[in-house]
Amino acid sequence: METPDFRSYFLIRIKLARTVNEIHGDLLSTFPDSWPGLSTLQRWHTEFDKGVFALEKKTRPGRPRETRTEENVARVKRLVDDNPRMTTRQVAAELSVANKTQRVKCCQDLLKLFQDHREDFLEFHLLVQDESWFYWDSAERRQVWAEPTGARISTPRVKQTARKTMIQMGFTCKPRRVSITALPAGTAADRNTMIEYLRTTGKRFLCLKKDKIRLKDCLLMWDNSRPHTATDTREFLTWRDVEPVKQSPYSPT
Protein backbone atom coordinates (compact mmCIF):
# COMPACT_ATOMS: atom_id res chain seq x y z
CA MET A 1 0.00 0.00 0.00
CA GLU A 2 1.09 3.54 -0.72
CA THR A 3 0.92 6.56 1.59
CA PRO A 4 -2.44 7.84 0.20
CA ASP A 5 -3.98 4.43 0.91
CA PHE A 6 -2.72 4.43 4.48
CA ARG A 7 -3.94 8.00 5.02
CA SER A 8 -7.40 7.10 3.67
CA TYR A 9 -7.63 4.08 5.95
CA PHE A 10 -6.35 6.10 8.91
CA LEU A 11 -8.87 8.91 8.32
CA ILE A 12 -11.78 6.45 8.16
CA ARG A 13 -10.71 4.69 11.36
CA ILE A 14 -10.31 8.03 13.15
CA LYS A 15 -13.85 8.98 12.09
CA LEU A 16 -15.00 5.66 13.61
CA ALA A 17 -13.58 6.80 16.97
CA ARG A 18 -10.56 4.47 16.97
CA THR A 19 -7.47 5.72 18.81
CA VAL A 20 -4.12 6.29 17.14
CA ASN A 21 -2.50 3.48 19.13
CA GLU A 22 -5.25 1.03 18.16
CA ILE A 23 -4.91 1.88 14.47
CA HIS A 24 -1.13 1.60 14.73
CA GLY A 25 -1.48 -1.89 16.20
CA ASP A 26 -3.82 -2.97 13.40
CA LEU A 27 -1.45 -1.69 10.71
CA LEU A 28 1.57 -3.26 12.37
CA SER A 29 -0.06 -6.70 12.44
CA THR A 30 -1.43 -6.41 8.89
CA PHE A 31 1.45 -4.67 7.07
CA PRO A 32 4.59 -5.50 9.13
CA ASP A 33 6.98 -4.44 6.35
CA SER A 34 5.41 -1.19 5.15
CA TRP A 35 3.32 0.21 8.01
CA PRO A 36 3.66 3.92 8.89
CA GLY A 37 5.35 4.64 12.20
CA LEU A 38 3.46 5.78 15.28
CA SER A 39 4.93 9.30 15.05
CA THR A 40 3.69 9.51 11.43
CA LEU A 41 0.16 8.55 12.46
CA GLN A 42 0.24 11.11 15.27
CA ARG A 43 1.32 13.77 12.77
CA TRP A 44 -1.51 12.80 10.42
CA HIS A 45 -3.98 12.98 13.31
CA THR A 46 -2.79 16.51 14.09
CA GLU A 47 -3.21 17.50 10.43
CA PHE A 48 -6.75 16.08 10.35
CA ASP A 49 -7.63 18.04 13.48
CA LYS A 50 -6.46 21.18 11.68
CA GLY A 51 -8.64 20.38 8.67
CA VAL A 52 -5.83 19.19 6.40
CA PHE A 53 -7.29 16.10 4.69
CA ALA A 54 -5.04 15.91 1.60
CA LEU A 55 -4.15 12.30 0.86
CA GLU A 56 -1.16 12.90 -1.41
CA LYS A 57 2.26 13.83 -0.10
CA LYS A 58 3.27 17.46 -0.24
CA THR A 59 5.66 18.16 -3.09
CA ARG A 60 9.04 19.21 -1.76
CA PRO A 61 12.17 20.21 -3.64
CA GLY A 62 14.27 17.75 -1.64
CA ARG A 63 18.05 17.60 -1.56
CA PRO A 64 19.98 18.12 -4.80
CA ARG A 65 20.72 14.96 -6.79
CA GLU A 66 24.39 15.81 -6.84
CA THR A 67 26.84 17.93 -4.87
CA ARG A 68 28.31 19.61 -7.94
CA THR A 69 27.41 23.19 -7.14
CA GLU A 70 29.18 26.39 -8.08
CA GLU A 71 30.21 26.88 -4.46
CA ASN A 72 31.80 23.42 -4.18
CA VAL A 73 33.55 23.78 -7.54
CA ALA A 74 35.03 27.09 -6.41
CA ARG A 75 36.20 25.56 -3.10
CA VAL A 76 37.93 22.66 -4.86
CA LYS A 77 39.55 25.03 -7.36
CA ARG A 78 40.97 27.15 -4.53
CA LEU A 79 42.39 24.06 -2.81
CA VAL A 80 44.07 22.80 -5.98
CA ASP A 81 45.43 26.25 -6.86
CA ASP A 82 46.97 26.53 -3.39
CA ASN A 83 48.50 23.04 -3.57
CA PRO A 84 48.66 21.45 -7.07
CA ARG A 85 50.07 18.23 -5.55
CA MET A 86 46.98 17.66 -3.41
CA THR A 87 45.38 14.24 -3.93
CA THR A 88 41.66 13.58 -4.30
CA ARG A 89 41.62 11.98 -0.86
CA GLN A 90 43.16 15.09 0.69
CA VAL A 91 40.59 17.26 -1.08
CA ALA A 92 37.79 15.13 0.34
CA ALA A 93 39.31 15.42 3.82
CA GLU A 94 39.56 19.20 3.50
CA LEU A 95 35.92 19.39 2.46
CA SER A 96 34.86 16.92 5.19
CA VAL A 97 33.33 14.76 2.48
CA ALA A 98 34.89 11.51 3.65
CA ASN A 99 33.57 11.67 7.22
CA LYS A 100 30.15 12.90 6.15
CA THR A 101 29.82 10.05 3.67
CA GLN A 102 30.90 7.54 6.30
CA ARG A 103 28.41 8.94 8.83
CA VAL A 104 25.58 8.58 6.32
CA LYS A 105 26.66 4.99 5.60
CA CYS A 106 26.80 4.30 9.35
CA CYS A 107 23.26 5.63 9.84
CA GLN A 108 22.01 3.48 6.97
CA ASP A 109 23.64 0.38 8.47
CA LEU A 110 22.13 1.10 11.91
CA LEU A 111 18.70 1.54 10.36
CA LYS A 112 19.03 -1.79 8.56
CA LEU A 113 20.10 -3.49 11.80
CA PHE A 114 17.04 -2.10 13.56
CA GLN A 115 14.76 -3.21 10.74
CA ASP A 116 16.30 -6.69 10.82
CA HIS A 117 15.99 -7.15 14.58
CA ARG A 118 13.03 -4.90 15.46
CA GLU A 119 12.07 -5.32 19.14
CA ASP A 120 15.20 -7.38 19.87
CA PHE A 121 17.54 -4.58 18.79
CA LEU A 122 17.71 -2.91 22.22
CA GLU A 123 16.24 -5.51 24.54
CA PHE A 124 17.96 -8.77 23.71
CA HIS A 125 20.78 -8.45 21.22
CA LEU A 126 22.58 -5.18 21.99
CA LEU A 127 25.75 -5.58 24.07
CA VAL A 128 27.20 -2.20 25.06
CA GLN A 129 30.87 -2.21 26.05
CA ASP A 130 33.32 0.45 27.19
CA GLU A 131 36.23 0.96 29.55
CA SER A 132 37.31 3.78 31.87
CA TRP A 133 39.93 4.69 34.44
CA PHE A 134 38.99 4.56 38.12
CA TYR A 135 41.29 6.52 40.42
CA TRP A 136 42.12 5.25 43.89
CA ASP A 137 42.80 8.62 45.50
CA SER A 138 39.87 10.93 46.11
CA ALA A 139 39.44 13.82 48.50
CA GLU A 140 36.24 15.21 49.95
CA ARG A 141 35.13 18.64 48.83
CA ARG A 142 35.13 21.17 51.64
CA GLN A 143 32.42 23.31 50.09
CA VAL A 144 29.40 22.13 48.15
CA TRP A 145 26.10 23.65 47.11
CA ALA A 146 23.24 22.70 49.45
CA GLU A 147 19.87 23.94 50.61
CA PRO A 148 20.02 26.78 53.18
CA THR A 149 18.44 24.56 55.84
CA GLY A 150 20.02 21.32 54.65
CA ALA A 151 22.85 19.38 56.21
CA ARG A 152 26.41 19.70 55.01
CA ILE A 153 27.14 17.24 52.19
CA SER A 154 30.53 15.80 51.33
CA THR A 155 31.12 14.63 47.78
CA PRO A 156 34.23 12.90 46.42
CA ARG A 157 36.55 14.80 44.12
CA VAL A 158 38.64 12.65 41.83
CA LYS A 159 42.35 13.28 41.97
CA GLN A 160 44.09 12.00 38.88
CA THR A 161 47.19 10.23 40.15
CA ALA A 162 49.22 7.21 39.14
CA ARG A 163 47.10 5.06 41.45
CA LYS A 164 44.39 4.04 39.04
CA THR A 165 42.73 0.94 37.59
CA MET A 166 41.07 0.48 34.23
CA ILE A 167 37.68 -1.23 34.36
CA GLN A 168 36.18 -2.98 31.32
CA MET A 169 32.41 -3.36 31.44
CA GLY A 170 29.74 -4.64 29.09
CA PHE A 171 26.01 -5.11 29.57
CA THR A 172 22.78 -6.01 27.84
CA CYS A 173 19.63 -4.10 28.69
CA LYS A 174 16.82 -6.62 28.94
CA PRO A 175 17.30 -9.21 30.29
CA ARG A 176 20.12 -7.61 32.22
CA ARG A 177 23.53 -9.20 31.91
CA VAL A 178 26.77 -7.57 33.10
CA SER A 179 30.41 -8.48 32.55
CA ILE A 180 33.07 -6.50 34.46
CA THR A 181 36.84 -7.00 34.42
CA ALA A 182 39.50 -5.01 36.28
CA LEU A 183 42.91 -4.79 34.63
CA PRO A 184 46.12 -4.75 36.69
CA ALA A 185 46.73 -1.39 38.37
CA GLY A 186 48.03 1.24 35.97
CA THR A 187 47.54 -1.02 32.91
CA ALA A 188 45.62 0.39 29.96
CA ALA A 189 43.47 -1.67 27.62
CA ASP A 190 45.06 -2.92 24.41
CA ARG A 191 44.12 -5.42 21.73
CA ASN A 192 45.23 -8.39 23.85
CA THR A 193 43.24 -7.41 26.94
CA MET A 194 40.25 -6.58 24.72
CA ILE A 195 40.29 -10.00 23.09
CA GLU A 196 40.63 -11.68 26.48
CA TYR A 197 37.73 -9.61 27.82
CA LEU A 198 35.50 -10.66 24.90
CA ARG A 199 36.47 -14.31 25.39
CA THR A 200 35.73 -14.09 29.14
CA THR A 201 32.42 -12.30 28.55
CA GLY A 202 31.30 -15.04 26.19
CA LYS A 203 32.05 -17.68 28.85
CA ARG A 204 30.24 -15.69 31.55
CA PHE A 205 27.08 -15.26 29.50
CA LEU A 206 27.00 -19.00 28.75
CA CYS A 207 27.40 -19.88 32.45
CA LEU A 208 24.36 -17.88 33.57
CA LYS A 209 21.61 -19.87 35.28
CA LYS A 210 19.02 -18.25 33.04
CA ASP A 211 18.93 -15.98 29.99
CA LYS A 212 22.08 -17.56 28.57
CA ILE A 213 23.30 -16.12 25.30
CA ARG A 214 26.20 -16.78 22.98
CA LEU A 215 28.56 -13.94 22.20
CA LYS A 216 27.89 -14.27 18.47
CA ASP A 217 24.17 -13.71 19.09
CA CYS A 218 24.89 -10.22 20.46
CA LEU A 219 25.20 -6.96 18.56
CA LEU A 220 28.41 -5.52 19.97
CA MET A 221 28.33 -1.75 20.38
CA TRP A 222 31.50 0.14 21.30
CA ASP A 223 33.44 3.21 20.17
CA ASN A 224 36.31 3.63 17.72
CA SER A 225 39.19 3.53 20.21
CA ARG A 226 42.36 1.77 19.09
CA PRO A 227 41.89 -1.47 21.11
CA HIS A 228 38.46 -1.89 19.48
CA THR A 229 39.61 -1.28 15.92
CA ALA A 230 42.94 -3.15 16.06
CA THR A 231 43.43 -5.78 13.37
CA ASP A 232 43.74 -8.60 15.92
CA THR A 233 40.50 -7.53 17.61
CA ARG A 234 38.60 -7.37 14.33
CA GLU A 235 39.96 -10.77 13.29
CA PHE A 236 38.84 -12.26 16.62
CA LEU A 237 35.33 -10.87 16.12
CA THR A 238 35.22 -12.34 12.63
CA TRP A 239 36.44 -15.71 13.90
CA ARG A 240 33.78 -15.75 16.65
CA ASP A 241 31.15 -14.53 14.18
CA VAL A 242 30.37 -11.47 16.34
CA GLU A 243 28.57 -8.61 14.60
CA PRO A 244 29.80 -5.17 15.74
CA VAL A 245 27.55 -2.15 15.39
CA LYS A 246 29.39 0.26 13.11
CA GLN A 247 30.25 3.62 14.63
CA SER A 248 30.58 6.91 12.80
CA PRO A 249 34.00 8.60 12.84
CA TYR A 250 34.77 11.08 15.55
CA SER A 251 33.81 14.66 14.79
CA PRO A 252 36.74 16.84 13.70
CA THR A 253 38.14 19.19 16.32
CATH number of 118-143+152-244: 3.30.420.10
Q: Model pTM? A: 0.52
CATH of 3-49, one of 1.10.287, 1.10.10, 3.30.70, 1.10.3470: 1.10.10
Domains of the chain: which residue ranges? 3-49, 70-115, 118-143+152-244
pLDDT in tens, 51-94: 877 777 666 555 555 566 777 788 888 888 888 888 887 877 77
What was the pLDDT predicted at 168? Answer: 95
HEC letters along the chain = CCHHHHHHHHHHHHHCCCCHHHHHHHHHHHCCCCCCCHHHHHHHHHHHHCCCCCCCCCCCCCCCCCCCCHHHHHHHHHHHHHCCCCCHHHHHHHCCHHHHHHHHHHHHHHHHHHHHHCCHHHHHHEEEEEEEEEECCEEECCCCCCCCCCCCCCCEEECCCCCEEEEEEEEECCCCEEEEEECCCCCCCCHHHHHHHHHHHHHHHHCCCCCCCCHHHCEEECCCCHHHHCHHHHHHHHHCCCEECCCCCCCCC
What was the pLDDT predicted at 135? Answer: 79
Confidence band for 105, pLDDT divided at 50, 70 and 90: confident
